[in-house]
Structure 1
Amino acid sequence: MKPLLIALLCLIPISCSQETYNGKEPVGDNYSFVDGFETQNDALDELFPSNGQRWSTIQQTNPSSAVNEISIISNEFTEGRNAIRFLAYQSDAQLSKIDIEKNGLTIEPGNLVTITADFYINDTASLENLLLIDLECCSCWDPTVGDNYGAENQCPGVRLMMSGGNDYLSIERGKISGTTLHQTSFRFPRDQWVSVKWEMTMSDDDNGSNKLAIDGNVVIDENGMNMPNAQIFAAVFANQGIDFTLQEPLMYERVQIGATANPTAGNIELYVDNFSIRVE
């Protein structure tokens, strides 16, 4: 179990901070949220209405030497007339992040979850370890453990991350003490719109299913857990003398998209359009 703890803790620097969210959406069978980032006059604040019907908040952590950027654009898009632009400067002493969150979800074991989005990534620099989509469980963290492992580690989940030496999009499971589901068969295209489809049957054991397709090409199709497992977490923390109880009910409450972490060696500019998440 010690290697599992190391894997869990080593990912703290590239995990996402816990945000306060208000209320929950009644996510049951056939829940669907779709957003093409359409606005009037390219107004970013229209994505965050007070009624909570669109996005919930912006997560932004700037490196010490620059300020990350987020905006609505009309010069590149795949549907409608708008897309959203993220510019994440390279990390220094601070891990660089800029993304948007949809909070208040209720995604439970047994649900079939399908997340789709179109991405456009400028430049040809290495994207190693860039994170694009996170699905996280904040309420499952044991409050008695608190900040012992840092506030940033308190939302375990699964993520889409570039790996394999440069730009192979993979499914990262380190925050639930799982291994990364790698693929090196399909490089992520640059300077063009790319369609990503991530489909999972949610489970805290090997009965979970994990499928990832890029431009219609299935690059990962593997069984395996994709939610935190109470026994694994208890065993991992017990090795450090910590009594950890995964909180119930187990559910993912938020999704993030953008540059959810940019530990790469360079600045990353990317556009996103045509986002959807469906729960069945």
Structure 2
Amino acid sequence: MAFCKINIRDPFLLLLLAAQFSCADSESAPEIDDTKINFEFQDGFETDNDDFQELFPSDNSRWTTTQIISPNAAQNSLDISMVQASGGNQSLHIQSRKSDGILSKADIEKGGFTAPENSTVIIEADFYIDSDTNIENLFLIDLECCSCWDPSVAADPSIDGDNKCPGVRLVMSGGNDYLSIERGKIAGSTLAQITFPFPRKEWVTVRWQMQLSPNDNGTNQLFINGQQALSETAMNLPNAEIFKQVFAENGINFELQEPVAYERVQIGATANPNAEDLEIYVDNFSMSITND
């Protein structure tokens, strides 16, 4: 299966435009007033006895669920590891096998929050990619809205249903390992950078900060090890009128469900279309939402 195969029933891919490259500077990550934060979540993946199930307590105070879609030839896995750790003694360990006829995915998910228009979202995590192979099109973080999908419109079964959760994602682009912001699932082009290649076989801190907007005034910032790799003003929340127009071009009546707000985040190998197996560690995850 080709990862970027265009399907007329998948209108987001029809609008995926050429990447827009931005000039990076040396600005450090800005601070947010703690008194204005109304959602905050942190997890260092520490457990007793390496028990992965401790990440999913009944009170939902930690993670919500996992997504593991294995290719035909091998099994993906998630577990707790002490082999690598950025903080504390443990980290999330991801074995993502290469895709074949099935798109390989292995990630952990947090839900139960609301990130609407004008809110500021900050997602930060440490990654250790234990590989020197080409990782172009590897997705690491997805921020999505599933409740905003029109329930009368079926998902495209050839895309495994994920297009029913519009959102923005972090992806490797630029030929191999330049982390960028992908907007194909909200009918936008990728906000790309080719200044800061992603280091391998060492811990890398990623900070993704946005002020959400369905229009062109949304702010999008990406920091790698404290250095600003990308800063662009662009749409980063689903736009009802754009969705209506895109689907209408394919003869489909689509009504984006409002109010539109992101409600789940996934981290790991959220999609690994590559022809190589990957081993990834994640640590020190945090997310905050500030609604001004």
Alignment TM-score > 0.5, same fold:
yes
Which aligned pairs between 1:60-209 and structure 2 lie closer than 5 A?
60-148=68-156, 151-209=161-219
Contact 2:15–2:187 (CA under 8 A) maintained in structure 1: no
Contact 2:8–2:250 (CA under 8 A) maintained in structure 1: no
Contact 2:210–2:219 (CA under 8 A) maintained in structure 1: yes
Question: Among residues 47, 51, 56, which one is paired with 2:55 in the alignment?
Answer: 47
2-structure distance, mates of 1:87, 1:215: 24
Q: Deviations over 1:247-271 (max 9, x none)?
A: 0111101000000000012111100
Contact 1:5–1:177 (CA under 8 A) maintained in structure 2: no
Contact 1:7–1:174 (CA under 8 A) maintained in structure 2: no
Contact 1:198–1:211 (CA under 8 A) maintained in structure 2: yes
Residue 12 of structure 2 corresponds to residue 8 of structure 1 = yes
Q: How many residues in Structure 1 have an aligned counterpart in Structure 2?
A: 264
Contact 1:5–1:236 (CA under 8 A) maintained in structure 2: no
1-structure distance, mates of 2:268, 2:125: 10
User: Please, which runs of 5 or more residues in structure 1 have no aligned partner?
Assistant: 13-27
Q: CA deviation at 1:123?
A: 1.6
Richer in strand (by share): 2
User: Please, which runs of 5 or more residues in structure 2 have no aligned partner?
Assistant: 1-5, 17-35
Q: Deviations over 1:87-111 (max 9, x none)?
A: 1000001100000000122110010
RMSD: 2.0
Residue 267 of structure 2 corresponds to residue 257 of structure 1 = yes
Shift in CA distance, 90/10, structure 1 to aligned 2, threshold 3 Å: farther
Shift in CA distance, 175/122, structure 1 to aligned 2, threshold 3 Å: same
Identity among equivalent positions (%) equals 53
2:241 aligned residue? 231
> In structure 2, the residue corresponding to 1:175 is in which secondary structure?
helix
Q: Normalised by the size of structure 2, how large is the TM-score?
A: 0.87
Q: CA deviation at 1:70?
A: 1.0
Contact 2:15–2:189 (CA under 8 A) maintained in structure 1: no
